[in-house]
Amino acid sequence: MSSFQSYVICTSPRSGSTLLCRLLAATGVAGRPASLFHEPSLDDWRERFGLASDAGRDERQALAEIFVSALERGRGGTSIFGLRLQRHSFGFFREKLAILHPHRHGDLARLEAAFGPTLFIHLTRADKAAQAVSYVKAQQSGLWHRASDGTELERLSPPREPVYDAALLRSTHDTMTTADREWEAWFAEQGIAPLRLTYEALSADPSAALRRVLEALGLDPAPAANAVPDVARLADATNRDWTERLRSELGLA
């Protein structure tokens, strides 16, 4: 039996978190992790869980209702709650967690008051140039994820031909690098020793990465043996060309 009641995937965009979330959900024993608090907005949180907005309601009561709904969604009928947190929305999440649990001191104590004993997973991408290229190209093309059968899983805007934007790529590279540093600083501040995974290891051997997570959670790792990624890589010749060019411009070649 797992000693954890929850896990949080601490990450930044284009680090393989969608693949990891879908693999974990497919086991049927490790919750249904997702970005349940993705947007820094209470209205967005209420809409996500189908909750009515009540301007006169006490904020703490509203947050309690939101978190109850999040727990149900993230458990997905299992005994483990899974959550993905992106760095850009973490500050707002921390603020609301402090309102929900004002008598707990520190983020870790508040997170565990909300979700129980928690395993933290730091999912990073070592190649920040490739990560920046992946993010900017997805923004421009509108296509964020494709299924292994070739169908589109997530499109956020109409198709558009991507164009190399040196300034945007450099700033995105800096943003992704800063996100990693901020997660590391937060782990140190809270005394957390996270399970560390990389995009590179996950994409090279999804079954092995999934097995590591299941074992860390104290769950049967057997489902990892049959893990079949249902998310296809979007990287193509354009990604490779842009990444080489960006590395050169950043002095990383």
- Answer for the pair 127, 16: CB distance below 8 angstroms, yes or no: no
With a CB cutoff of 8 Å and minimum separation 6, the contacts of 72 are none
pLDDT at position 151 is: 85
pLDDT in tens, 125-139: 999 999 999 999 999
Q: What confidence score (pLDDT) does residue 113 get?
A: 97
Its pTM stands at: 0.94
What confidence tier does 148 reach under pLDDT thresholds 50, 70, 90? confident
Contact indicator for 66, 83 with CB cutoff of 8 Å:
no
| Separation between Cα atoms, residue 121 and residue 7, nearest integer Å | 7
State the greatest distance between any 2 C-alpha atoms of the chain, in Å, as a whole number: 57
- Number of alpha carbons in the 13 Å side-chain half-sphere of residue 127: 20
Q: Could you read off the pLDDT of 164-219 as tens digits, one per residue?
A: 999 999 999 999 999 999 999 999 999 999 999 999 999 999 999 999 999 999 99
Residue among 226, 43, 234, 209 nearest 138 (CA):
234
